[in-house]
Amino acid sequence: MGKKLLIHNDHVPNIHTLDVYRAHGGYASVEKALKTMTPDQVTDEVKKSGLRGRGGAGFPTGMKWSFLAKPEGVPRYLVCNADESEPGTFKDRYLMEKVPHALIEGMITSSYALGAKTSYIYIRGEYFYVARIVEKAIEEAYAAGLLGKNILGTDFSHDCYVQVGGGAYICGEETALLESLEGKRGNPRIKPPFPAVAGLWGCPTVVNNVETIAAVCPIVNMGGEEYAKIGIGKSTGTKLISASGHINKPGVYEIELGIPVEEFIYSNEYCGGIRNGKKMKAVVAGGSSVPILPTELILTTAKGEPRLMTYESLGDGGFQTGTMLGSGGFIVMDEDTSIVKNLFTFTRFYHHESCGQCSPCREGTGWMEKILKKILAGHGTEQDVELLWDIQSKIEGKTICPLGEAAAWPVAAALRHFKHEFLDYVKNPQNIKDVKHYYRLNNLVEA
Amino acid sequence: MGAQVHGTQTFNAAKRAEIKFSPEAMATVQKIISQYPPERIKSALLPVLHVAQAEFGGWLSPETMDYVAEVLTIKPIEVFEVASFYTMYNLKPVGKCTLEVCQTSSCWLNGAEDIVRYIEKKLNIKTGETTKDGMFTLKVAECLGSCGTAPMLQCGASFHENLTFEKVDGLLEKYRNEGRLRSYTDMDYHNTL
């Protein structure tokens, strides 16, 4: 069993309540930070820990915190990004639902480090019931003097609120999230200025993912150096992985960064292997945005080394032969899966979720969706396959926010590793199994 | 007066005069507003729209949006531009129960299309349509964060996961018997995580 720091108590009955959470050591980091440490000392521990943003980008959290501008007389904000919408990712939902106080505790400790008197937890609207659970936990924390004025009798006062979103993937992008929090459409902002300088209502703001904020608690408790001993190299600590697809045991697993991918997929402690005794065909390792890899490349790097669950090892080989840890949304596909069809569900997703600000993304995602529809219906040509490659290459790097890349990368990777499948669709349309199904679903008349 | 036409719906002054939050809903709205600095009241818009949608029949009519603008002291167009951006706000009337079946990768891998097809057949409607009795609207949704418990559908605040045809049967029967409007803001929610 690997070490668990975030959801180690998820099996304890009523761990979502304050009393049980505290009885299991909860809020120790608030006590320690507020009573024995300065805010800068807390930030230093986070820096030493090597913690990297758990939302997907993997940016060092301590460094992000140190960018926060601190002009006199201007309020600073901590905003928690709980707009978890990356296909394949459901870890933040699990954490907030099972141990909501782990997030609240992290919010208080982190806000102390940042000097934020107010914080907001922005939860995707579809998770309305999760927001209820978190709000209840916040009420309990207020009643116990862990939120509000003079927390635990110290000089530090803090208010924490929940806001629900309206259903938009783009609000997971931090500046779109801030727009949404301000009551506007979720259109990402042009950067700079970065939120650390001009964020919520133009004030300096740090936006961190749920898991990132929760990880601050064990870091403060054990010390940054201890935390950094877990994991390998620059991938320190533990990570929540959302495992789904054709596996025997889908669910959320907390792993020590550094375990082999093969162990994660096949060991009974984690995914428990592929369902129905089938063979594995491909894996999307970090949420829909990261490149899909075929079995041989997800289990071993191009150099023949075992692939490990770390930022570096999953990224080994670049996009030619590697992928990314991303959000830890681990989607496993068995040998019968159509990579073309799976890509279609991704592309349809990005088309639906593009905010429409930038033409390459707004038009490109819809165009790619249309071409994939055509290929799936048995009317594709070889030129269509080439065109897909061309379109994705013209979206990447040409948009305000990374949704452009997120939409382009899955297309590029599917073509890179599974081009033969696309060509099979266009050359042998008679072999396509579910054409009728497809037409019916899209309310089309069969040609 | 506000905007005269919102989307495909026409503004009706008589209907507008009838719209007012119940005292309970108004208390919720006030609590939401109190979360933000007074000069940042617009921030309350998204959560207040959820309250309004639940309060006024499951969708946001032009009159409802105009009323929300008045409550938040912002322009009606500011309400409409937000309501039309986010997928959870309905700008057209829907059934009492909106069934949103997730169709993205992990759910697709686990048979979401079969669930959609089954519900369509069972309710005799196509995706996007509402049953004649106004009870059910069927929609497909993009990833709802239930990938490990796929396939799933959301109805109001509830997540119904690891769906089978039998589960769908039970669900439809239960909802039809209860016959009430299901909203995201419902306090009674069901989930199986």
> In chain B, pLDDT over 90 holds for what percent of residues?
91
Tell me whether residues B184 and A250 touch, CB distance under 8 A. no
The pLDDT assigned to B7 comes to 57
Do residues A373 and A344 lie in contact, with contact meaning Cβ atoms separated by under 8 Å? yes
Tell me whether residues B143 and A349 touch, CB distance under 8 A. yes
Q: How far does the CA of residue B42 sit from the closest CA of chain A (Å)?
A: 5
**Token pair in block for residue B94:** 């829907």
Coil, strand or helix at B87:
coil
Q: Which of residues 15-54 of A touch B (CB under 8 A)?
A: none
B144/A contact by beta carbon, under 8 A: yes
Do residues B99 and B168 lie in contact, with contact meaning Cβ atoms separated by under 8 Å? no
Q: Convert A111-130 into a string of H (helix), E (strand) and C (coil).
A: HHHHCCCEEEEEECHHHHHH
Domains of chain B and CATH, by start:
5-83 (1.10.10), 97-178 (3.40.30.10)
Q: How far does the CA of residue A164 sit from the closest CA of chain B (Å)?
A: 6
Nearest of A432, A399, A427 to residue A170 by alpha carbon:
A399
Chain B residues in contact with A343 (beta carbon < 8 A): none
Give CA–CA dist B101/A417, Å, rounded: 30
Is the link from the previous residue into B151 a cis peptide, with omega within 30 of 0?
Answer: yes
A249/B contact by beta carbon, under 8 A: no
CA B68 remoteness from chain centre: 16
Per-10-residue mean pLDDT, chain A, length 447: 92 97 98 98 98 96 97 97 97 97 98 98 97 97 98 98 97 98 98 97 98 98 98 97 97 98 98 96 97 98 97 96 97 95 96 97 97 93 98 96 96 98 92 59 46
Q: How far does the CA of residue B141 sit from the closest CA of chain A (Å)?
A: 9
Q: Which of residues 384-423 of A touch B (CB under 8 A)?
A: none
* Residue pointed to by tokens 């980091």: A29
Do residues B45 and B72 lie in contact, with contact meaning Cβ atoms separated by under 8 Å? yes
Statement: residue B6 has pLDDT above 60: no
Q: Which of residues 12-51 of B touch A (CB under 8 A)?
A: 35, 37, 40, 42-47, 49-50
Domains of chain A and CATH, by start:
18-229 (3.40.50.11540), 233-334 (3.10.20.600), 339-441 (1.20.1440.230)
The pLDDT assigned to B1 comes to 37
Tell me whether residues A183 and B43 touch, CB distance under 8 A. yes
Q: How far does the CA of residue B49 sit from the closest CA of chain A (Å)?
A: 9
Give CA–CA dist A305/A300, Å, rounded: 5
Residue B183: closest C-alpha in chain A: A128
Tell me whether residues B82 and A167 touch, CB distance under 8 A. no
The pLDDT assigned to B61 comes to 97
pLDDT single digits (tens) B45-83:
999 999 999 999 999 999 999 999 999 999 999 999 999
Give CA–CA dist A195/A206, Å, rounded: 7
The pLDDT assigned to B192 comes to 58
Give CA–CA dist A107/A3, Å, rounded: 23
Query: Among B105, B139, B161, which would you mutate to test the A interface (most chain A Cβ atoms within 10 Å of its Cβ)?
Result: B105
Mention every residue, 6+ apart, whose C-beta is less than 8 A from residue A368: A347, A351, A388, A391, A392, A407, A411
Tell me whether residues A180 and B46 touch, CB distance under 8 A. yes
Tell me whether residues A345 and B86 touch, CB distance under 8 A. no
Q: Which of residues 76-135 of A touch B (CB under 8 A)?
A: 84-90, 93-94, 97, 120, 124-129, 132
Query: Among B87, B120, B142, B186, which would you mutate to test the A interface (most chain A Cβ atoms within 10 Å of its Cβ)?
Result: B142
Give CA–CA dist A244/A272, Å, rounded: 11
A445/B contact by beta carbon, under 8 A: no
B78/A contact by beta carbon, under 8 A: yes
Phi-psi region of A231 (alpha: psi -120 to 50; beta: other; left: phi over 0): left
Q: How far does the CA of residue B17 sit from the closest CA of chain A (Å)?
A: 25
pLDDT single digits (tens) B145-164:
999 999 999 999 999 999 99
Chain B residues in contact with A134 (beta carbon < 8 A): none
The pLDDT assigned to A447 comes to 37
